[in-house]
Structure 1
Amino acid sequence: MKPLSSHKITLIRSGSRADLFLTRQLSSEQFSYSDIFSMLLPLILDQFFINIIGLLTTAMISSSSQESVSAVSLVSPLYMMIYSIFNAIAAGGTVVVAQYKGRGDREKIRASAGQVMFATSLAAIILCSILMIFANPLVYTLFHAADAIVKEKARDYLIGVSLSLIFHSFYMGSFAVFRGIGETKVCLHLTMIINLIHLFASLLFINILHMDIAGTVISLIIARIIGGIIAVYLVMHKKSSLSIHARDIFRIDFSILKSVFKIGIPFALEQVFFNGGGMLVQTYIVLLGTISVAANAIASSAFSILYACGMAVSTLSITIVGQCIGAGEKKLARRYGSKMIWLGTFVVLLSLVVFMPLMPLILKLYQAQANTLSLIYQLLWIAAIPMTFFWSLSNIMPCVLRSAGDANFSSVSSLITMWAIRVGLGYLFAVPLGLGVQGVWICMGIEWAVRSVIFYLRFRSESWLTKKTID
């Protein structure tokens, strides 16, 4: 059963060498290469839109003060830990919806869509409320070594962003469902709406009204409330390809929730501990000084542009492989899993070639001090070199495995490598060996290399194809 994408990319002339090559490499009875590119292009634009808007808003915060960007950087792993839990539930929902789509069961698609919306929203409300209540002790305990003004701003930002994430969960649930059925154009439209609102609100509250952290928080809340309302409307509208009803959301279906949680819970635990490791990394980066904290934050924001296309392929792999599994086409799932790695490697290389020369222009947006800027360039080049060889295997392959139901292996492997290398070895490199924040980024590349070997061996074993997710 073909994806629901209605407009296909037809820029390549039929019968041309490019057409024959792409047909041989990417087409099958399940998908044509035009189907795949019609889903991929909106995902790429979606990722770029998110990351570029994030870059611009980070630059706005950075222009307020170095303390502000440091505050945001410090608490980001903390709220991302909570965010990752209901994001993982949404990711599990994408796999389930994609597999039912591959099977062609429209009733189950609609029912599972409603359950994803319910589970994502409920988790967000509970977890974000806890984060808001305990924001003050968390910030002052975890980041006691930070400057007082940084801690105060970090606490205010954490409370505000946690509130915004509750509304954002409605959008995330809808997003997960549309991606599962291949409606990536709808996802792009949603992303454009919510991020443009965030950008212009940030411009007003940060640059014009000079509200600093408070301006960032207000713009996030406004954008995510509007985005959440529109997302819910789109999945429930009668003309929607889903057209789910309120009863699909509020009627609990334990068999579907079990399938969602079977994928989502291991991924959620992985993300919790992953972000917990990120918090530990932040605590020892704090010891290196405000310049290191700011450079790490800005470099991370700028670096996100380089892997935006790769993340789009990662998302696409869940839809493509998941639908193949749902259709019972395991050989085809393996074939497309391999193709997604090669496609991811190509787009990452293309991103490096295009954007690394533009980094001087991009980094001007942050108005960083000269010593901070020099450190940022070092961090970007440290990551760019191993990214060429290892990023796709280490980041796309887990999604391929997870889309077939092999969630436990993907999560456990990711956790072990993250904590052993990025956290443990990163501390050794950064503090005792005196390499500073550069040591943390060196270890990130080492982690990618180790993960690549582990996931490649798992993919070759084919044991990932024996898992069962849906009934």
Structure 2
Amino acid sequence: MSSEKVKRLTLFGLTWPIFIEIFLHMLMGNADTLMLSQYSDKAVAAVGVSNQVLSVVIVMFGFVAQGAAILIAQNLGAKNNQQAGEISALSISLNLLFSLFLSVGLFFGAKTILQFMDLPQEIMGEASSYMQIVGGLIFIQALIMTLGAILRSYGYTKDTMNVTIGMNILNVMGNYLVIFGPFGFPVLGVEGVAYSTAISRFIGVIVLFYLFWKRNSDEIKIGYFFRYQKQYVKRLLQIGIPSAGEQISYNASQMVITYFIAQLGTIAITTKVYAQNIMMFIFLFSIAIGQGTQILVGHLVGAGDMEAAYKRVMKSLKISIVVSLSMATIVYFYSKPLLGIFTDDTTILETGAWLLLMTIVLEPGRAFNLIMISSLRAAGDVKFPVYIGVAVMWGIGVTFAWFFAIYLNLGLMGIWISFIADEWLRGLFMLRRWKQRNWVSMSFVQPGKKQDSV
């Protein structure tokens, strides 16, 4: 990738394809939920809890993708293009090996994991079936994440967007066949949805690898995929493990909170799934802005322009807060029609509406985290978000969830109180850290100077 193209990167140019890509990823999950809701509310609960577990696993192999994205962006900013290519190939190979190990564990341990979650027996069969299929092939998602992170760091955000469009089309078509059984096709329910998800991802990863090779073949040799240079592996782990640590802690805490919700019954689980599916379309704006900002900050820090990086993040934060607050308000006013897309259960509709009202307070706090944490990582400050994240998520998030939802018997509204406290407190800590500018001295490369090792 030429240095001229790096200079042309803009927040809007990076963010709108990322936004559409994330939107379609969420749409894929919602397509499963919406189409399964026509089949059975219990099937929705089964897939929802299974995906909660799988999201933790995805983050576990996300640390390589995170490390690669940051290192590649900084090296491109510093004009170290060859090393960016070497890191790209290494991250793909390393993540494939690691994710294959996790896939085997999920396939054979699915039922044990779900039993540990205290899942209601009525949905255990469908949940374990879904987890075995999707979890057993989770290495495909690892490759999708890694290839996507690399292409985005190089500025090819439209490539990953286009692949996601294709994956969604295939997934919806597959869901339609296995849920509604047209033309005499067998109705396979949850198991069929799992196969549809796996097949669409498999085709997607093949296309992503083709695009990756096409865009970077001048800088990458086949041998790079089998050359595990110690200095590169060490740096990937030094960045990636702390970067993923915050996400692992978050998802693990969400699993514990899901355990609390499971004690409230299947209706509570289903309501939470529907409400969060709708909420995803609120905070995807902040996710997209955060990812676009991370790429820009990586390039700017690699080039040594710290003041521009600082100002870029503060502008992105203001945009994200305004957008998330506006979207949350709009969604609340249309909460019952939106929830009505999934179900006509009166209890779910009423409780879900209250949760979406509380989301107006929740989402601006989430915006702080999504922008500030990704920016701190891109600048090289990867440990601080983990320390604060672990302390607040467990000390406030999980504790408040138990106290308000179980002890005070406030149910799902108690859960949402814990979400609000967690997001806002962490977000304010991250903002304070950025303003202190400790990250200025934490860059992993020297701008404009070829590195002997990364």
**TM, length-normalised to structure 1:** 0.89
CA displacement at 1:90 relative to structure 2:
0.5
* Distance 1:268-1:242 versus aligned 2 partners, 3 A rule: farther
Q: Bigger shift: 52-61 or 392-401?
A: 52-61
CA distance in 2, matches of 1:433, 1:407: 37
CA distance in 2, matches of 1:264, 1:130: 22
Task: Decide which of 245, 254, 273 is 1:297's aligned counterpart.
Answer: 273
* Distance 1:200-1:331 versus aligned 2 partners, 3 A rule: same
CA displacement at 1:420 relative to structure 2:
1.5
Task: Decide which of 60, 75, 82 is 1:85's aligned counterpart.
Answer: 60
Task: Decide which of 154, 178, 187 is 1:210's aligned counterpart.
Answer: 187
Q: Which residue of 2 aligns with 1:387?
A: 363
* Secondary structure, aligned partner of 1:182: coil
CA displacement at 1:63 relative to structure 2:
2.1
Q: Which residue of 1 aligns with 2:130?
A: 157
CA distance in 2, matches of 1:92, 1:384: 33
* Secondary structure, aligned partner of 1:407: coil
* Distance 1:266-1:437 versus aligned 2 partners, 3 A rule: same
Q: Bigger shift: 392-401 or 367-376?
A: 367-376
CA displacement at 1:349 relative to structure 2:
3.4
4+ residue stretches of structure 1 with deviation over 6 A?
none
| Alignment gaps of 5+ in structure 2 | 446-453
CA displacement at 1:221 relative to structure 2:
1.1
CA distance in 1, matches of 2:358, 2:326: 18
Which digits, 9 at most, give the CA deviation of each residue in 1:40-64, with x for residues without a partner?
A: 1111111222222322221112222
Which digits, 9 at most, give the CA deviation of each residue in 1:160-185, with x for residues without a partner?
A: 11123211222211101011122111
Q: Which amino acid aligns with 2:307?
A: K
Alignment of 1:67-466 (within 5 A): 67-143=42-118, 146-208=119-181, 209-237=186-214, 240=216, 244-352=220-328, 355-388=331-364, 390-466=365-441
CA displacement at 1:273 relative to structure 2:
2.7
Q: Which amino acid aligns with 1:263?
A: I
* C-alpha contact 2:21 2:160 (8 A) present in aligned 1: yes
* Distance 1:452-1:205 versus aligned 2 partners, 3 A rule: same
Q: Which residue of 2 aligns with 1:15?
A: none
Asked if 1:44 is matched to 2:12, the reply is no
CA distance in 2, matches of 1:189, 1:285: 37
Q: Which amino acid aligns with 2:129?
A: D
% identical aligned pairs: 23
Q: Which residue of 1 aligns with 2:448?
A: none
Q: Which amino acid aligns with 1:461?
A: Q
* Distance 1:336-1:2 versus aligned 2 partners, 3 A rule: farther
* Secondary structure, aligned partner of 1:367: coil
Q: Which amino acid aligns with 1:88?
A: F
CA distance in 2, matches of 1:301, 1:121: 29
CA distance in 2, matches of 1:368, 1:244: 54
* C-alpha contact 2:18 2:157 (8 A) present in aligned 1: yes
* Secondary structure, aligned partner of 1:80: helix
* Distance 1:266-1:210 versus aligned 2 partners, 3 A rule: same
CA displacement at 1:274 relative to structure 2:
2.2
CA distance in 2, matches of 1:448, 1:138: 27
* C-alpha contact 2:86 2:224 (8 A) present in aligned 1: yes
CA displacement at 1:240 relative to structure 2:
4.8
CA distance in 1, matches of 2:108, 2:245: 22
**TM, length-normalised to structure 2:** 0.92
CA distance in 1, matches of 2:422, 2:251: 15
